[in-house]
Chains A and B, each alone.
Chain A
Amino acid sequence: MAKVKVRIPAPLQKITQNKQEVTCEAVNIKELIKDLEKQFPGIKARLLDENGKIRRFINFYVNDEDIRFLKHDETSLSEGAEVSIIPAIAGGCYGFD
Chain B
Amino acid sequence: MALTNEQIERYSRQIILPNVGGKGQDKILKAKALIIGTGGLGAPCGFYLAAAGVGKIGLVDSDKVELNNLQRQILHITADIGLPKTESGKKRLAALNPEVEVITYPIRLDSTNIMEIIKDYDVVVDGSDNFPTRYLVNDACVITKKPLIHAGIFRYDGQAMAILPGQGPCYRCLFPEPPPIGAVPSCQEGGILGAVAGVLGVLQANEVLKFILGIGEMLVGRLLIFNALDSTFRIVKVPRDKDCLVCSEHPQISKLIDYQEFCSLKVKKDCYIKKIA
Binding site for B on A (CB under 8 A): 9-11, 20, 49, 55-57, 59, 61, 64-66, 68-69, 84, 86, 88-97
Contacts and interface: CB of A to CB of B under 8 A. Distances in A.
Contacts of A84: 225, 234, 236
Interface stretch (B2-10, B106-114, B182-190): B182-190
Contacts of A96: 179, 183-184
B175 interface: yes
Given A66-B239, A92-B191, 19 more contacts: A9-B157, A56-B175, A59-B175, A88-B152, A88-B175, A90-B134, A91-B129, A91-B130, A92-B187, A92-B188, A92-B190, A92-B192, A93-B129, A93-B131, A93-B263, A93-B266, A95-B184, A96-B183, A97-B184
A86 B175 CA distance: 10
B130 A90 contact: yes
Contacts of B255: none
A97 B128 contact: no
Interface residues of B, number: 45
A89 B153 contact: yes
Interface string B130-157: 1100100000000000000000111111
24 contacts: A10-B156, A11-B188, A20-B227, A56-B177, A64-B234, A64-B235, A64-B236, A64-B237, A65-B237, A66-B239, A84-B234, A86-B159, A86-B225, A86-B236, A88-B131, A89-B152, A89-B159, A90-B152, A92-B192, A93-B265, A94-B187, A96-B179, A97-B184, A97-B185
Contacts of B129: 90-93
A95 B154 CA distance: 12
For the complex of A and B, list the 5 residue pairs with the smallest distance between their C-beta atoms, beginning with the closest: A91-B129, A95-B179, A89-B152, A88-B175, A89-B154
